[in-house]
Amino acid sequence: MTPPRPEDPSRRYPWEDDEYKPRTRPYPTPGSPPPPDPPPHGRPTPPRDQHGQRESARFTPPPDDKPTTPTLPKKLTVTRVAWFRTRQLSSQALATFRKAAHADGAKQSGLSSLTYAVMLNYAADAAMAVALANTLFFSAATGESRGKVALYLLITVAPFALVAPVIGPALDRIQHGRRVALAASCVLRVFLSITMALNFDNWGLYPAALGSMVLSKSFTVLKAAITPRVLPREITLSKTNARMTVFGLAAGGVFGAVAAGFANLFGSPGALWFTAVLCLANAYYCLRIPSWVEVTEGEVPASLRAKPQKPKRQALGRTVVVALWGNGSIRMLTGFLMLFAAFVVRAQTEGDALMQVLLLGVIAAAAGIGSFLGNAVGARLHFGSPDQVVIGCLTAALATVIIAAVLPGLATAAAVGLIGATASSLAKVSLDAVIQDDVPDESRASAFGRSETILQLGWVFGGALGVLLPTEYWIGFTVLAVLLAVGLAQTVQTKRGATLIPGLGGDRPLRPAPVVPRAGT
């Protein structure tokens, strides 16, 4: 049947052309094998033999890139089912972790390599803390032995005091070799961990522990300067740091438990040997960080002063200084609680090691939950006014400390740990957001490194108070409440453009004009 002509006489159908050839499907010749069936869902089908039968017995499907679920064993026993379920859960957890670590372009930018290094640094710190728990933590005396208190203060607080004024300014002078510096800090920790394991029962343990803590905090500050250089376009700096902190806390918990197992089987030196292995693995991952983190062309060092004394330095804006004052005050709370709680529990449960572990475990668990919660919330939410968030976090921390001073006890101390750790995490996320928004690109890495030194100094001051104050809840929290109130007043004054300390307050513009980079950089 011929189709009807269109209304337009000039229009022609294809079959009306002289060169038109109809498309026909060729029929198979007699004796030829039947054509193969189309592959279902894009997968190849088994070939046919000379009789047209499928060779399904000899066909091997192509390997799949996706992780496969372990096959269930033929003979089911309780042990085999448990092993199968463990492998299945481990495979799913590993796949979920790799997906989260490589999300938002982290693998392409090099952030995933830095994340692995940060996780191993957290793991090494946790393993070393487990190994030294019975030597440095509980052996420190209270008011009866000031000599041991001074020794404990040297071991725990001196590393932070050394890192803050030295490592931060040195970052501005390092133009190349930051990956090597990170790896070198890990390799040195390997030798120090071995030294601690071999000298666990003599005084050689103490200087090695001091050096390892210094190197750990140096790693943290160096990491802060490298992070902006591996920042993906799909994610902000604040979410990046929150994500790395969450991964680090999880790694610290897992490997800390493994180190506790080594300590139980082989004693504390066994946990220190495990720490050495973790530090060696960390050095390997530090060298796998992409080479473009070494590019420092056009960088301008940041300065905390409103009017920098040295030329060609970028002054930080008022909003950044507000966030720094608030974060430094909250870090004073976290450093104070960590050391003060240890001495108070030691004094109140003299001779009962099990009770000491239980009470400190309650406070540490509350602080860990708060830190994890704060970073998880900060990684998912976007705050419109980060400086206001910092002030709100500091206000909440101050209110909790006042309650703990009025109602002293373990419950309120745990509440201070929970609220303080949550406030510290949210305030740090807000600080990272402010640095990313208000600091020029050429000064962002330097500002990030300088901010870490301020947070370390806040922790140092709070930790020193926790060691030196009397072991009474109400005395310690009362002194801390007064200092937090002063910090809150300075933070609010800085936001208003005033200051309690000349040169380090709000007497500066919100966003200073960018400085021209130094010639030859």
Q: Are residues 459 and 366 in the same domain?
A: yes
Q: Are residues 209 and 330 in the same domain?
A: no
Domain-located, residue 4 = no
Domain-located, residue 433 = yes
Confidence of residue 307 (pLDDT cuts 50, 70, 90): confident
What CA–CA distance (Å, rounded) separates 419 from 73?
48
Q: Are residues 313 and 453 in the same domain?
A: yes
Token reading at 299: 């960088």
pLDDT tens string 158-194: 666 666 566 656 655 665 677 888 898 899 999 999 9
What CA–CA distance (Å, rounded) separates 341 from 200?
25
Token reading at 241: 């740091």
- Residue 49's pLDDT is 52
Domain-located, residue 59 = no
With 0.85 as the threshold, say if the pTM is over it. no
Q: Could you tell me which of 331, 324, 294 has the C-alpha nearest to residue 438?
A: 324
Domain-located, residue 200 = yes
The β-bridge partners of 513 are: none
- Residue 453's pLDDT is 77
- Give the range among 45-49, 397-401, 453-457, 475-479 with minimum mean pLDDT: 45-49
Q: Are residues 185 and 279 in the same domain?
A: yes
For the chain, the average pLDDT equals: 76
- Give the range among 22-26, 51-55, 96-100, 222-226 with minimum mean pLDDT: 51-55
For residue 232, give its domain range. 104-297
Domain-located, residue 345 = yes
Q: Are residues 401 and 416 in the same domain?
A: yes
Q: Are residues 255 and 359 in the same domain?
A: no
pLDDT tens string 41-79: 444 455 555 555 544 444 444 444 455 555 555 566 667
CA distances from 22 to 12, 16, 25 (A): 16, 11, 10
- Looking at the 3D structure of the chain, how many domains does it have? 2
Confidence of residue 13 (pLDDT cuts 50, 70, 90): low
Q: Are residues 310 and 446 in the same domain?
A: yes
pLDDT tens string 458-502: 887 888 888 788 888 888 999 999 999 999 999 999 888 888 877
- Residue 176's pLDDT is 66
The kind and range of the H/E element at 315 are strand 314-315
Is residue 427 predicted with pLDDT exceeding 70?
yes
Domain-located, residue 79 = no
- Residue 371's pLDDT is 85
Domain-located, residue 256 = yes
What CATH number is attached to the domain comprising 321?
1.20.1250.20
CA distances from 305 to 80, 354, 376, 388, 509 (A): 65, 49, 33, 22, 12
Query: Could you tell me whether strands 302-303 and 314-315 are parallel, antiparallel, or unpaired per DSSP bridges?
Result: parallel
pLDDT tens string 93-142: 677 767 776 776 777 777 888 889 999 999 999 899 888 876 654 454 44
- Residue 326's pLDDT is 93
Q: Are residues 431 and 504 in the same domain?
A: yes
Q: Are residues 192 and 114 in the same domain?
A: yes
Q: Are residues 278 and 329 in the same domain?
A: no
Q: Are residues 268 and 343 in the same domain?
A: no
Token reading at 460: 């140092």
Phi-psi region for residue 314, left (φ > 0), alpha (ψ -120 to 50) or beta? beta
Q: Please identify, among 239, 268, 297, the residue that sits at the C-terminal boundary of a domain.
A: 297
- Give the range among 32-36, 188-192, 196-200 with minimum mean pLDDT: 32-36
What CA–CA distance (Å, rounded) separates 228 from 230?
6
Q: Are residues 468 and 400 in the same domain?
A: yes
What is the percent of the chain with per-residue pLDDT over 90, rounded to a whole number? 17
pLDDT tens string 237-273: 777 888 888 888 888 888 988 988 888 888 888 889 9
DSSP per residue over 453-506, as a string?
HHHHHHHHHHHHHHHHS-S-HHHHHHHHHHHHHHHHHHHHHHHTT--SSTTSSS
Q: Please identify, among 282, 297, 312, the residue that sits at the C-terminal boundary of a domain.
A: 297
Burial grade of 25 (CB within 10 A; 0-12, 13-18, 19 or more): exposed
- Residue 174's pLDDT is 60
Token reading at 301: 């060092």
Domain-located, residue 254 = yes
CA distances from 400 to 26, 28, 478, 480, 486 (A): 85, 86, 11, 11, 16
Q: Please identify, among 280, 297, 314, the residue that sits at the C-terminal boundary of a domain.
A: 297
Q: Which residue has the tokens 């042990």?
A: 79
pLDDT tens string 338-395: 878 877 877 777 766 667 777 777 888 888 888 888 887 876 766 678 888 999 999 9
